[in-house]
Structure 1
């Protein structure tokens, strides 16, 4: 598929079903794109479809099957959109294009030649528990134990929104930007990486009713 140059061709890309619950159009919204008038369209749609399908089928679908509806906050970014977001003068808080290849920029390989895709999501049913307890770690550990194909997670304060990534060579890292718990929760080689962690999420599952 060529890069869309018309409404009709962009509609066609948006209708591509990445998994039973998700379509390409779900991942193309960008506030930066809207405000700055920069189209958020993949340069290489076939690669974006490939990586997005892995993200949806291997990570998002299992998560939604367990917890119910997932809201997409930020997902695919074109290089031009991400570059604007990485411009510190604009304070949009995006990492550089090089850091986001095979991450938010789905259709470009990273420096090591691998593909990947990231979406920033909110698990809607988790919000009440998180707002009562501040325990974002419960969801992180559940994913770590039950959806092992993730590459990395990065948690943010509002609604415990987090980046969830698929990658051909997964990092298996969990990081928090939340005040009071900023830093790595786990990564390969950490004492808490291996084994089962249900003690950290049993209460959360009960409160949500799962």
Structure 2
């Protein structure tokens, strides 16, 4: 489950009882003032508390998504890596992606691409490349002596769509395969029936197959 972490800490124990095993929490800065500027709300301490609670609840790893923006938070990258020293946290550095007309930054893209390709150098000395899962969309590393891991998601520079197997359930009740996809399939009504729910999954995963079934039944 992906969340902003503002109210997640108090809900995590119950979510764990319901079967939740992993969480992705967004945190783009370790500076409270910058957090408030970026998100237009207070709550930095609550997000950090949610990350720690996720670790305490057994999320291994607890994933922290950090969108890197040059001139805003790139000077704290090493501090983010330090979060992985003593806790099973996976810090995931993500390239800035052009949603809703925002402007992507080529300099930031090159920063993460170079780091992710080498895992070495002045910025990230001591990173060891790890074996990736076939469906991973990130390059995974571990700093020598650290419990947690570091990942680089360079989806704008190096397209990773071919290996992605994500099926996303959004807050509005829609299933989507890709965040860039034009539309989703609503699951609110189908969730009352196993047959309809399975059909809604197929609508997202294999829309051409569904069209063929509908055409042959007509």
Q: TM-score over 0.5 for the alignment?
A: no
Judging by fraction of residues, say which structure has more helix: 1
TM-score by length of 2: 0.24
Higher relative contact order (CA 8 A, sep 6+): 1
